[in-house]
Structure 1
């Protein structure tokens, strides 16, 4: 499913593009998958009805963690992502020993329906089930057929240290590999897709094993817009404490959604 030959033939260029990208390391790869297979996979994707757990900081966003069960093509894509061959490619591009979580904890198929948005945020850093797995990368494959800039929903990335930011278009069969760090904010503004069309993507995460923790473990850190309500800003400010307290007594909802 993944165009491995193309990636392996262009490793040096891909590494340079990733490491030198601004505002922080990221990489955009078009035609990431074999087009015919991805077209078939897209045709099998249903409308999702499982609302995202980010509902306080997102609107009309739906998800399915176990997307590989939808069709053979998506199963092939899932297997390709977690393969040793792909892990070697990722490690070369990033110049770090990275690997895709074979169970794709917290990832999956995402659909943004009418007026969908996702506030800027930092993702959790250490894997909740493997305490020494540090999250290095987001891998986002976009499935937006005939996407146009006026549909909005481009991936916004911002460096929390410098406030430099960029917005990346999200057309069909585009993979964006984005560094995860304590400063790598990302999200997307409210969409304007035509009726019956959704902002669709598959999210996958890659890690590095740490022998000692270099950061305090956190859940998601949210950064609502300046014009957000007082209540939303307060929730964002206290989100980590609230989620960690809830998980202590009731367990992780993300961990259960596999």
Structure 2
């Protein structure tokens, strides 16, 4: 389903675009997949009912990590995303020895329903189930048919070090590859999609192996404005609270 010939023919341009992008390395690829197959996949996409556990810092966001068996087209897309060929492309453009997490831990299909939003945040760094896997890239394939800017939901990027920002549109069949690091803030504002339409994406994550831990392991690090003091307080408490919960009860995300 992925148009590998196109990716490989333009890999040098994509590498430069990724590495030189501001506010931090990222890349938007339009037409990643064969259009007719992706439309057929979208037509068979069920409405999701498993709500995200980010109750305070997100709204109306639903997810399903185990999507590969929904249909033969989902299986084909899953296999392409996990393939050595796609992995080689990611390694080339990022200049890092990355690989895709085949379990799609924390990823899979994401559906933002009416009025959804996702506060700015920095992702967890080390994989909860593989302590030497360091999260390096976010892979976000958007399935928003006939998306318009007034619907909102653009992917917002911000460099925590400098405050530099960028907004990226989320039309159908666009893949955004984004560096994830301790300074790579991202999220999206509250949406206003037409009734019956959702902000829909398939999210995957690429990791690299670390021989030694270079950062203190963290969960999601939320960043909210000074105009929301209660949220700001909860954001400071979030990481230690989740770590305690995971020690006592295990990772709910991993179980899902």
Q: Which category of TM-score, normalised to the shorter sequence, fits these structures? A: over 0.9
CA distance in 2, matches of 1:125, 1:148: 33
TM-score, length of structure 2 as denominator length: 0.99
Cα drift, residue 198 of structure 1:
0.4
Structure 1 position 226, deviation (Å): 2.8
Supply the distance in 1 between the matched residues of 2:252 and 2:141 (Cα, whole angstroms): 24
Q: Deviations over 1:143-202 (max 9, x none)?
A: 000000000000000000000000000000000000011000000000010011000001
Partner of 1:54: 54
Q: Report what 2:250 is aligned to.
A: 251
8 A Cα contact 1:119 1:225, kept in partner: no
In 2: Cα distance, 1:162 partner to 1:200 partner:
30
Q: Which consecutive segments of 4 or more residues in structure 1 shift more than 6 A? A: none
SS in 2 for 1:161: coil
How much has 1:235 moved relative to structure 2?
1.1
Q: Secondary structure at the match of 1:67?
A: coil
C-alpha distance in structure 2 between counterparts of 1:189 and 1:29, whole Å: 22
For residues 67 and 170 of structure 2, the distance between their equivalents in structure 1, rounded to whole angstroms, comes to 20
What is the aligned length? 256
CA RMSD of aligned residues (A): 0.7
Verify the 8 A CA contact 1:155 1:168 in the aligned structure 2.
Answer: yes
The alpha carbon displacement at 1:10 in A equals 0.7
CA distance in 2 between counterparts of 1:27 and 1:62 reads: 25
The yes-or-no answer on 1:97 pairing with 2:97 is: yes
1:234 matched to which residue of 2?
A: 233
Deviations along 1:13-69, whole A, 9 cap, x unmatched? 000000000000000000001101100100011111111111210011111111112
Structure 1 residue ranges without an equivalent (≥5): none
Q: Say if 2:181 is the partner of 1:181.
A: yes
SS of match in other structure, 1:255: helix
> How big is the shift at 1:231?
2.7
Distance 2:27 2:253 in 1: 27
Deviation of 1:104 (Å): 1.2
CA distance in 1, matches of 2:77, 2:55: 28
Q: Quick one: distance in 1 between partners of 2:225 and 2:45?
A: 32
In 2, the alpha carbon distance for the partners of 1:94 and 1:237 equals 32
The residue correspondences of 1:27-106 to structure 2 (distance < 5 A) are 27-106=27-106
Q: Is the 8 A contact 1:142 1:201 kept in 2?
A: yes
Q: Which residue of 2 aligns with 1:165?
A: 165
1: CA distance, partners of 2:255 / 2:178:
26
Q: Which runs of 5+ in 2 are unaligned?
A: none
